[in-house]
């Protein structure tokens, strides 16, 4: 099972022009196939004058779910090259939709393959790509007299500070890589004088 994957951080819209045809590539992070299909439908609505709305998406930490569509372009000239770029760049939980406004010049099969692939590749270059890691989360509780130092020490450490919560006492949600638990327990006891309490919450995908 994968312990990390890459995805785009937020939606991106990037345009290229090739022989007067405009290729608008929309990239978006998605949590499942229904969300990917919703993005595709939204792009059709946003660009009603486009002749084609080709798409590709990869889903799951292991990239197991993969779909693509040429949407009327010659078979294999749009969706497949788009999907190949996503696979080659190692991004998942990501959908790409390329809306083509035809410019009057036929590109041929080779030209279409290059154009659709370039549209996705250039959009990925313009996007912010982030890493997600599968971590074991712990809720660390400490009193307020020690919370400021602990937060600073956590942010300076190799451990992932996933969240904070302030109630009757301070709570820090900390992500650990597999095998880090003993070292973290010793580190936490040292920086808090043994006063912190730590409860395991389970595994979760956490943005690095």
pLDDT digits (tens, 9 = 90+) for 159-206: 999 999 999 999 999 999 989 999 999 999 999 999 999 999 999 898
The percentage of residues in the chain with a pLDDT greater than 70, rounded to a whole number, is 100
Write down the domain spans for the chain. 4-127, 131-207
Q: At 120, is the secondary structure helix, strand, or coil?
A: helix
What lies within 8 Å, CB to CB, of 126 at 6+ separation is 12, 14
Fold of 4-127: Ribosomal Protein S5; domain 2 (3.30.230)
Q: What is the pLDDT of residues 86-115, one digit of tens each?
A: 999 999 999 999 999 998 888 999 999 999
User: Cα separation of 184 and 122, whole Å?
Assistant: 41
Distance CA 82, CA 127 (A): 16
Q: What average pLDDT does this structure show over 35-54?
A: 97
- Could you tell me which of 23, 44, 38 has the C-alpha nearest to residue 95? 38
pLDDT at 105: 85
CATH of region 131-207 = 3.30.70.240
What is the pTM (predicted TM-score) of this model?
Answer: 0.82
Average model confidence (pLDDT) across the chain: 95
Cα–Cα separations (whole angstroms), residue 128 to 33, 74, 82, 105, 120: 22, 31, 18, 33, 14
Which pLDDT tens digit goes with each residue over 126-154?
999 999 999 999 999 999 999 999 999 99
Kindly indicate the confidence band of residue 1, based on its pLDDT and cuts at 50, 70 and 90.
Answer: low
The DSSP string of 154-205 is HHHSSSEEEEEEESSSEEEEEEE-TT-HHHHHHHHHHHHTT--EEEEEEEEE
* Whether 184 contacts 161, CB under 8 Å: no
């Amino acid at each position: 099972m994968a312990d990390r994957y890459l995805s785009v951080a937020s939606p991106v819209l990037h345009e290229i022009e090739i022989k007067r045809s405009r290729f608008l590539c929309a990239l978006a992070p998605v949590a499942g196939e229904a969300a990917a299909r919703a993005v595709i439908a939204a792009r059709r609505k946003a660009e009603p004058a486009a002749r084609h709305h080709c798409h590709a998406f990869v889903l799951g930490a292991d990239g197991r779910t993969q779909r693509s569509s040429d949407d009327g372009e010659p078979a294999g000239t749009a969706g497949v090259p788009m999907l190949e770029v996503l696979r080659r760049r190692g991004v998942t939980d990501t959908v790409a939709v390329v809306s083509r406004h035809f410019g009057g010049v036929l590109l041929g099969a080779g030209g279409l393959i290059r154009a659709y692939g370039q549209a996705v590749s250039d959009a990925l270059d313009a996007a912010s790509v982030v890493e997600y890691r599968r971590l074991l989360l712990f809720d660390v509780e400490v009193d307020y007299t020690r919370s400021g130092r602990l937060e600073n020490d956590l942010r300076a450490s190799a451990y992932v500070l996933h969240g904070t919560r302030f109630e009757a006492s301070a709570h820090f949600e900390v992500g650990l890589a597999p095998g880090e638990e003993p070292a973290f327990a010793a580190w936490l006891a040292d920086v808090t004088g043994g006063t912190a309490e730590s409860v395991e919450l389970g595994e979760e995908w956490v943005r690095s």
